Amino acid sequence: MNKNFNICFLLKKGSMGIKSCVTLIILLFALKSFSFNENLTPPVSNGPVKVSVDLHINKVYNINTVDETYQIDGYLEYSWVDERLKSVDEDSLQGIRVYENDRAKELFNTKMWFPAFELINVQGESQIPNMSIEIHPNGKIIYDERFFGTFSTYMNFRDFPFDSQQFSIQIESFSYNKRQLVFTNPQIFLEEGSNSFTEKWQIKNMKASITEQLYPQKDSMDDVYSRVVFEIDSKRLTGYYLWQVLFPLFIIIMASFVLFWIKDFGTQIGIGFTLMLTVVAFNFYSASILPKLPYQTFIETIIIVGYVFIFMGIIAVIINHRLNGNKDNSENNKLTKILRYVFPFTFFTALIVLFFLFKVS
């Protein structure tokens, strides 16, 4: 940048006076660099910039239980006041000026102060097919973007498929701490037509709140950031899992109790092993819809209960067979008769206990 001054010295030997030279340099300087030196500071007159945020959700979709992610299609509307944009506007132009897409980008990359907003719990970059900046005569700025982003939150699948999940979006300023920028007045809306979401999830609660986030490790002292948190508490509608997974599983475990009503030992054993193979199929199916969690979910516990009951059934049948082996009335002995009722009873008790255990925890 001190190149400019060299220019000055060269020009001295020319016909221009030193004053003109300085003028010229100022002009040159202004032209080239002012887009970088100006517009870099937040409009802090008294206190931090107050940015109000609205979230309009079109759709929550591709809810991926394996990756614990979900995609959100919506609009984010940030609005704040920059007094510096006020005066100029009132002089030159009437009404609201609208800058869309590339024009908006050029505007906030060169002409105005624009803070980068960071989606904290996003996964990868989000897509912004449309954005706009509205500048009002009073210096109010409204930045609106349509976004498609993949977000992730911690999901607890213990009660799966009777679980509730919290779909959230957390936003912070990327560079400005709470002394420079605070969020205010957040609002969350769900647009009509989000059928494909509300069809599968029952919305319990929607809330928007402002919190403060401490980053003690950062080496600057100003380590508290203002954060907006949008949350949709929802309960899974379990029709599919109830009828396509739990119902067949239930039928199959039911069918295993048939073992004790059958006389022929070979048939009993054959059925036992066929049922075990079927439970293996359900085991692998459940592996395809849930992450590889260290804890047991409700559905996986049911499958393990299935394994245990069928295995115990096979063992019981063999023990019985050995005790009452070759007798013709093998199936009428006492043990079998007891097991006929003990197994279903234990199973239903286990089911009820499990259901309450998972619901309570």
Looking at this protein, which amino acid is placed at residue 238? T
Out of 83, 179, 281, 337, name the contact with a second copy by CB under 8 A.
Answer: 281
209 binds a second copy (CB under 8 A): no
Of the candidate spans 26-34, 204-212, 225-233, 344-352, the one that interacts with a second copy by CB under 8 A turns out to be 26-34
**Binding residues for a second copy restricted to 36-75, rule: CB under 8 A:** 36-38, 40-41, 54, 56, 58-59, 61-62, 67-68, 73
Decide the pairing of beta strands 224-236 and 201-214. antiparallel
**Binding residues for a second copy restricted to 326-345, rule: CB under 8 A:** none
Task: Please say whether the dihedral angle defined by the alpha carbons of residues 64, 69, 71 and 74, taken in this order, is positive or negative.
Answer: positive
Question: Shortest gap between Cβ of 181 and a second copy (angstroms)?
Answer: 11
Closest among 276, 289, 346 to 354, alpha carbons compared:
346
Q: Which residue has the tokens 């379990």?
A: 238
**Binding residues for a second copy restricted to 82-101, rule: CB under 8 A:** 87-88, 92-93, 95, 97-101
Residue 240 vs residues 80, 87, 157, 161, 327: alpha-carbon distances, Å: 45, 60, 16, 9, 47
Out of 255, 335, 342, 350, name the contact with a second copy by CB under 8 A.
Answer: 255
DSSP state of 315: H
211 binds a second copy (CB under 8 A): no
Binding flags for a second copy, 127-166, as an x/- string (CB under 8 A):
x-xx-x-x---------x-x-x---x-xx-----------
Out of 50, 86, 158, 200, name the contact with a second copy by CB under 8 A.
Answer: 200
Cβ pair 360, 352 in contact under 8 A:
no
Out of 45, 266, 360, 361, name the contact with a second copy by CB under 8 A.
Answer: 266
The residue (of 134 and 233) whose beta carbon lies closer to a second copy is 134
98 bridge partner residues: 134
Question: Shortest gap between Cβ of 226 and a second copy (angstroms)?
Answer: 16
Measured from the Cβ of residue 219, the count of other Cβ atoms closer than 10 Å reads: 5
Whole-angstrom distance, CA of residue 7 vs CA of residue 260: 103
